[in-house]
Amino acid sequence: MLEHGGKLLAASQTFGISLDDWIDLSTGIAPMPYPVPDIPAAVWQRLPEDDDGLHAVACAYYGAKNLLAVNGSQAAIMALPRLRLPGRVAVLSPSYGEYAPAWAAAGHEVVECAAQDVLQQQADVILLANPNNPDGHVFSREALLAAAERLAQHQGWLVVDEAFADVDAENSLSAVAGMSAAENVIVLRSLGKFFGLAGARVGFCIAANDVLSHLQAMLGPWPLAHPARFVAKVGLGDTVWQAAQREYLRQTSARLAALLRRYGLVPSGGTALFQYVLCQGDEAQACYAHFARCGILVRRLAQPAALRFGLPGSEAAWARFEDALKNLPVT
């Protein structure tokens, strides 16, 4: 199993610090999540139904014509490779680590490509995140649609994971994915990051109807639990909270970038939910261990060596983080 952020239990055991004393900056999940309303008892008792209104609310939020709710976008990441015969798949690298193994496990030839090369690949499928995780690289809408048009000439797919696109969506393809002008585009969305509801495991696949039909058949009935559907419908319809959250995340990410620069960790990229710092030599490991000894979990990346920092969620967390920055072993 691949390593992911959020491994607080393991960090607690490794560094001998109580679980409650950790600050988790390793995930890129919004530290101020959507305020989940009380869930009626009937929602826990009854099986979920597709006509509960979630589809319409989600389509309105994403500007999509059609979509499928799934058990986190990870469910679609794992299933989509099995909807095509084995072929050549170009995957952005570095990026989310689950993409390449999922396609390779389904028999596809996977080629990992840098950002400047991935859209030019001769491939059956091109897969990337926009904005990218972990470095925040952004592909323009125009470049993506041009690549999709080339892929369409031989029934290829462009798969775009937009898990971090909720704050700044000007390059999103959610509104055109699966439609006549971009029928071969598949977009993945999630409530885990912007809404801070990673534990609910709510995701969506936006695609052409035939892709969604095959995906639904593969995933089977009830891919999303009834309480998760209930919370998702409320959150996706709450435009007042969404506007406030976007402003909060923009301001908080700018604050984080400024704080890192002040202590010699200059971000080379990022989004409204995290900052990305390239490191030299053993700096990434040394900084990771230093923060961990301070009870602060950050994301350490190997290729290339880098650190990714999520957003502190309270003034106390900001103060502890700055104290740790003041005593960095390298700058």
Domains of the chain, earliest start first: 8-33+240-326 (3.90.1150.10), 41-237 (3.40.640.10)
Model pLDDT, residue 330: 65
- List the structure tokens of 6: 């959020």
Model pLDDT, residue 117: 97
Cis peptide before 312 (omega within 30 of 0): no
Model pLDDT, residue 3: 57
Model pLDDT, residue 11: 85
Question: In 211-233, which positions are buried (b, 16+ CB within 10 angstroms) versus exposed (e)?
Answer: bbebbbeebeeebbbbebbbbbb
The amino acid at residue 319 is A
Question: In 37-46, which positions are buried (b, 16+ CB within 10 angstroms) versus exposed (e)?
Answer: eeeeeebeee
Model pLDDT, residue 331: 56
Q: What's the order of all strands across the beta sheet hosting 306-309?
A: 269-271, 274-278, 306-309, 299-301
Model pLDDT, residue 1: 45
Q: What pTM did the predictor assign?
A: 0.94
**Block means of pLDDT (10 residues each) for the chain, length 331 residues?**
66 86 94 96 96 96 96 97 98 95 97 97 98 97 98 97 97 96 96 97 98 97 96 98 98 98 96 96 92 95 93 97 91 56
The amino acid at residue 56 is A
Asked whether the beta carbons of 308 and 298 are under 8 A apart, the reply is: yes
Model pLDDT, residue 6: 58
